Structure 1
Amino acid sequence: MQNRFNGHLAMLPVIQDLMASGIRVWIYSGDTDGSVSVTTSRYAINKLQTSVKTQWYPWMYQGEVGGYVVGYENLTFVTVRGAGHFVPSYQPGRALAVFTSFLEGKLPTNH
């Protein structure tokens, strides 16, 4: 059986191509996801060797920490607090805040 990290590595060339083409790439992860952990996602992103533009910071949703975000060159990684693998089913409001930020082309801040 293939481990979950190998699946991330298989996607890296696709992600690199998207980043190189100028398409905004966002990767998000629920912080309680037992299938694809935040640590696994971060490890895979580190393999891309892209520079950090915006250091990790908490983003807010309804007066609470909604998760954390880090902005890289041509890539954004967002965590969603209290969400498992299917983020919108665990945290629909926080998921909508992340998707709204993506559509607006802004890092999540205070929704």
Structure 2
Amino acid sequence: MFKGLFMLMLPNFLILTPLADWIDAPDSVLPIIQELLEAQYRIWIYSGDTDGRIPITSTRYSIKKMGLRVEEEWRAWFLRHQVAGWVETYQEGLTLATIRGAGHQAPVFAPQQSLALLVYFLAGNRLPVTPKI
């Protein structure tokens, strides 16, 4: 049995794939976001508030490192008379929003809130401050 396992270990093995250089920690996207904001693009970053893969706290810490000026403090946004998540906006054109009760793949966990967030973004509107139908 052991002899068979050792046969798999070739001494002169050459890896011919770009995946071999993959690392677990990718480069930061913060410089790209900063560049887009400076070019006056509107950017919305969203996350499910129960996302264990990329927690909203990590995203908030990263955005804080950018030194953006808060335009509207962290507040609830609504869909159908219910809190749909939380949102904070920045003067430079960035909006950070959460989708309440959603995990890493927010549209799978909360399709209605995810669609509403997209519709508001495409229309150029803020997320609702007060409950709406």
TM-score, scaled to structure 2: 0.76
Alignment of 1:15-34 (within 5 A): 15-34=33-52
Match of residue 67 from structure 2: 49
Match of residue 10 from structure 1: 28
Q: CA RMSD in A?
A: 1.4
Question: Is this contact kept in 2: 1:69–1:107, CA < 8 A?
Answer: no
Greater relative CO (CA pairs within 8 A, separation 6+): 1
Gap runs ≥5 in structure 2: 1-22
SS of residue in 2 equivalent to 1:35: coil
Measure how far apart 1:24 and its partner are. 0.3
Task: Calculate percent identity across the aligned residue pairs.
Answer: 39
Measure how far apart 1:107 and its partner are. 1.6
Is 1:102 aligned to residue 130 of structure 2? no
After the TM superposition, which segments of 4 or more aligned residues of structure 1 sit over 6 Å from their partners?
A: none
Measure how far apart 1:47 and its partner are. 0.8
Q: Which one has a larger percent helix, Structure 1 or Structure 2?
A: 1
Q: Which one has a larger percent strand, Structure 1 or Structure 2?
A: 1
Mapped partners of 1:69, 1:59: distance in 2: 7
How many residues of Structure 1 are paired with residues of Structure 2 in the alignment? 107
Mapped partners of 1:71, 1:10: distance in 2: 21
Match of residue 57 from structure 2: 39
Measure how far apart 1:71 and its partner are. 0.5
Higher Rg = 2
Match of residue 86 from structure 1: 105
Question: Is this contact kept in 2: 1:31–1:83, CA < 8 A?
Answer: yes
TM-score, scaled to structure 1: 0.90
Gap runs ≥5 in structure 1: none
